[in-house]
Amino acid sequence: MTFEAWKNDEATIHRMQESVRAGRVSHAYLIEGPSYTDKPAFAREFAKAILCPRRVGDGCGQCAICSKVDHDNHEDLIWIRRMLGKKWIAIQQVEEMQAQIARKPNGPRYIVIIDPGDLLREDSQNRLLKTLEEPPGETVILILSENAQRLLPTIRSRCVMCRLEGVPKEADENVTQRAVQLTDQILDGSPYYLRTQTLGKIPKGGGDTAMLIDCMEKHCRELLFSRDEHGIPASPEEIGRLVDGLEKARAEIERGLSVEYALKKLLLSI
C-alpha cells in the first residue's frame, strides 16, 4: 500500500492491514478525516489490500485487479456518490446497491464505497442499516466522512471507526491571513460590510474554500486555548458557535450550495 499522504496514520494503517492479513476484515468501516485527507484514495488503497491476490494486506499496485480498482472499473467495486445536480445521496442509490450485492460477486466479495457518507439523508441511512446489520456474503462497506457525528448513532455503532489525520497542505499565505482577519472580525462583532470586504479578497475555489474553513477553525482553537492569556473578548461559547457555523457551511457547500452564498449566510448567522 502506498500511504505517503497519510504519514500521521501509521497506527491506523497497520491495524487495517493486519486485519486483512489475519482474515478478520470487518463488514463496515467508517473512515473519518479532515477535508485535506484524500479519503477516496485511501479507500482505493484499502480495497486493493483486500482484493489483491498477490500481496494480501498491501496490494501490489500492478496486477489486473489493482489496476481495475485504480481506474474505478472493478466489477465488484461499487461507488455511491451524489448524482450531478442533487444535494444528497438518494435512497434509490442505496436500494440499487443492495439489489446488486444480493447477487453473487465475480470475485470473493463486493466492496462498497460511500463518498461521502455525510450526504446520506436520514431515510437513506435507515435503509443502509439493513445491510450493515445483515451484510450478504463477505461484503465490505466503506463510509467516508469529514464528520462522523453527522451520521446516525446506529450507523456509527455498526462500523469500525478509522480516523485519518493525514498531512495538512500548506495554506496559501493570503488565505491564512484573511482567515485570521475574518475570524477576528466575526468574534469582535465587526460590521457586516467589513466582513464581506474581507471575504471578497479570498479566492472561491473549492480547495481555497476548504482551506479557508480549516484555517478559521484552527484559529478558533488557538483563540480558545490562549483566550485568558491574551484577553480575547469572545467567550468559549461564542467561539464554539462559530466553529459549528463553519461546519454547517462546509456541509452546505458539499451538498451543492454556492460557496459565496454559504459563506455570506454564515456571516449573517453569527
> Is residue 101 within 8 Å of residue 239, measured between CB atoms?
no
Domain residue limits, the chain: 4-163, 173-269
pTM value surpassing 0.75: no
Is the pLDDT at 234 greater than 80? The verdict is: no
Per the structure block, which three cell numbers stand in for 6? 497519510
Q: What is the DSSP string of 111-158?
A: EEEEETGGGB-HHHHHHHHHHHHS--TT-EEEEEES-GGGS-HHHHTT
Per the structure block, which three cell numbers stand in for 222? 488557538
The domain defined by 4-163 carries CATH number 3.40.50.300: yes
Is the pLDDT at 231 greater than 70? The verdict is: no
Q: Average model confidence (pLDDT) for the chain?
A: 84
Chain segment 146-201, per-residue pLDDT in tens:
888 889 999 999 999 998 877 656 556 777 888 888 888 888 888 888 888 888 87
Closest CA to 39 of 220, 166, 203: 166
Q: With bands split at pLDDT 50, 70 and 90, how would you rate the model's confidence at 232?
A: low
Is the pLDDT at 205 greater than 70? The verdict is: no
Percent of the chain's residues with pLDDT above 70 = 89
| Residue length of the chain | 270
Chain segment 79-112, per-residue pLDDT in tens:
999 887 778 899 999 999 999 999 999 999 999 9
d(CA 193, CA 137): 58
If you average pLDDT over residues 235-253, what whole number do you get?
Answer: 83
Is the pLDDT at 62 greater than 80? The verdict is: yes
pLDDT on residue 156: 94
Is the pLDDT at 16 greater than 80? The verdict is: yes
Q: With bands split at pLDDT 50, 70 and 90, how would you rate the model's confidence at 208?
A: low
